Amino acid sequence: MPKPTQSGIEDLNKLNKWRRYQSTLSFILCAAIKKLSPENKLRIEHSMSKGFYCILSKKFRKGLLKKVETEMKRIIRNNVPIKKKTLTRKQAIRLFKQLRLDDKVTLLENIRKQRITVYSLLANYDIFMMPPFETTGSTNLFYLRSFSPGFIIVFPAWQDMSKLPDYVPQPRLARIFDEYEGWARILGINDLGQLNHAIKHGKAAEIVKITEALHEKKIVYIADSIVKEEKRLVLIAGPSSAGKTTFTKRLAIQLFVNGVKPLIISADDYFFPHSQTPKDKFGGLDFESINAVDIPLLNDHLLKIIKCKKVRVPRFNFLTGRRNKGNEVYLPKNGVVLLEGIHCLNEDFTHRVPKSLKFKIYVSALTQLNIDDHNRASTTDVRMIRRIVRDTHFRGYKIRGVLQHWGSVRDGEERNIYPFQEEADEMFNSALIYEPAIQKKFCLPILKRIKKDYPEYEEARRLVDFLNLFLEVNERYIPSNSILREFIGGSSFVY
């Protein structure tokens, strides 16, 4: 983990400006829809295709999307002020009841926060986890694209907010979100307010059990698919803190149940020695580059293992920066290799292994819980909280370094992982609907070490405010094989 750097501070500032851009653009979108189709309710579901996927409560009228985009541009061109005022919780509940915004009423009735900041734009009132800009004029870069049954609002990436990305549909990612939203409906929990209400009424243990059972059901399904298709190499990739290691271990158990013997190999063990590792733009060792891995050796070993030949795999020593000799491994004919690594979905990574033998899995914490209709619980925030707890408790890192390194981590993910996620044969959503209610106890004390005069304070404060929205759940309900145990401790697996 690199020490705190000026570039890390700049990344945090860029990310927070980008989040404010998103809030402002979301508010403008709400205002435009309210004017053009007042009977419609907008819900901003999740991030996808370099933007947000949104749905309306009623079916699209022909031409509505184009009219919404035109109206948004008019609001932006007029540089309309966005005002804010602080209300008591009771006052805010009364306001949103009058406006018939039931999602915000449910949220406010089930949180402990007593002072609520309410924003207004034209005749619209809303709350946002990240404050919007003071006026609408600086959010002119966006466009809307239809993606049935909803649409996507595309905006600039945080690394460069001066240009718009191309629109790339992601149908497989959309399907996995649909699957998990179905699971949320099984639980009867779509929003934070509903989760807190259930916790208040003593249903926390039931929520944990059902959520964990849904995870296990999906892992069983994936294991059955691998066996049915007679695959020999399972490639598992995903972003940082997605829970790939625990997922791999649980998948291995289900393969055993199917009479298939799994052999787990880590791509990290095939790193080149530090003397041969490529450098990043700041001159540091770039372990996230595909060129940091000895691909010829990896492919040679995989081919031999798949052909049931004995191979002595390497073991990378991160302290010395060198590869050591590891154990000799052997894969029987009824076996399958499980290879975990950030580049595993990239076909160049295992180019010598025939595609017909490979099964690719994308693992990520694709949060299915919204705060309310217009505020998402960010997928990256859930992973960041996991990383903070794990790295400070179990890896000896300082909280300031973890926060500052996050921009670099995300940049690497967007270069090396996200471009290949649609190539996965299966996707596994490692998010747990109850997770922040557990993580609150572990993460808040760590975040509160960041003092007001530290440059990381704004980011720490944002995460504190997010976690404080959740009612706390005791970790004793969490089973020992849960993916969450990889981050809070108490796992039955050895890492």
Would you say 447 and 384 are in contact if contact means Cβ atoms under 8 Å apart?
no
- Are 383 and 431 part of one and the same domain? yes
Region 122-134: mean pLDDT is 97
419 and 295: one domain? yes
User: Same structural domain for residues 225 and 319?
Assistant: yes
Of 154, 180, 201, the residue at which a domain comes to its end is 154
Strand partners, 42: 56
Which is nearest to 189 in space by CA: 370, 452, 348, 6?
370
Same domain? For 248 and 116 the reply is no
Of 154, 189, 204, which one is at a domain's C-terminal end?
154
Q: How far apart are CA 483 and CA 495, in angstroms?
A: 12
Taking only the tens place, the pLDDT of each residue in 152-188 is 999 999 999 999 999 999 998 888 888 877 888 888 8
Cβ of 333: how many Cβ atoms within 10 Å?
Answer: 7
pLDDT number for residue 1:
43
Residue 1 inside a domain? The answer is: no
Mean pLDDT across the chain: 94
Please check whether residue 58 lies inside any domain of the structure.
Answer: yes
Q: How many domains does the chain have?
A: 2
In-domain check, residue 165: no
Q: Are 350 and 454 in the same domain? A: yes
Are 209 and 277 found together in one domain? yes
Q: Is 263 exposed, middle or buried (0-12, 13-18, 19+ CB in 10 A)?
A: middle
pLDDT tops 90 at residue 282? no
For residue 411, give its domain range.
171-488
Domain assignment present for residue 159? The answer is no
Which pLDDT tens digit goes with each residue over 215-259?
999 999 999 999 999 999 999 999 999 999 999 999 999 999 999
With cut-offs at 50, 70 and 90, classify the pLDDT of residue 3.
Answer: very low
- Give residues with Cβ within 8 angstroms of 207, minimum separation 6: 187, 189, 195, 198, 199, 433, 434
Residues 150 and 175 occupy one common structural domain: no
- 345 is a domain residue: yes
Are 140 and 229 members of one domain? no
Reported as a single tens digit per residue, the pLDDT across 14-53 is 999 999 999 999 999 999 999 999 999 999 999 999 999 9
Q: Please give the structure tokens belonging to residue 29.
A: 């979108």
Residues 397-426 have pLDDT tens digits of 999 999 998 988 898 899 999 999 999 999
CATH code for the domain in which residue 68 is found: 3.30.980.10
Instruction: Report the interhelical angle of 435-447 vs 457-467 (nearest 10°).
Output: 150
- Token representation of residue 37: 């189709």
Nearest to 222 by CA among 184, 182, 176: 176
Exposure of 271 in the CB half-sphere (CA atoms within 13 A): 25
Task: Tell me which residue of 30, 26, 50 sits closest to 40, measured CA to CA.
Answer: 30
CA angle 412, 49, 376 (to 5 degrees): 90
Is residue 61 one of the residues assigned to a domain? yes
* Residue 494 resides in a domain: no
Q: Is 354 exposed, middle or buried (0-12, 13-18, 19+ CB in 10 A)?
A: exposed
- Sign for the pseudo-dihedral over CA of 420, 422, 428, 432: positive
Identify whether residues 300 and 349 lie together within a single domain.
yes
Higher local confidence (pLDDT), 62 or 338: 338
Position 5 confidence tier, pLDDT thresholds 50, 70, 90: low
User: 480 in a domain, yes or no?
Assistant: yes
| Residues 88 and 190 both lie in one domain | no
What is the per-residue pLDDT across 331-381, written as a single tens digit (0 to 9) for each?
999 999 999 999 999 999 999 999 999 999 999 998 768 999 999 989 899
Residues 231 and 377 in one domain: yes
CATH number (domain holding residue 457): 3.40.50.300
Same domain, 144 and 246: no
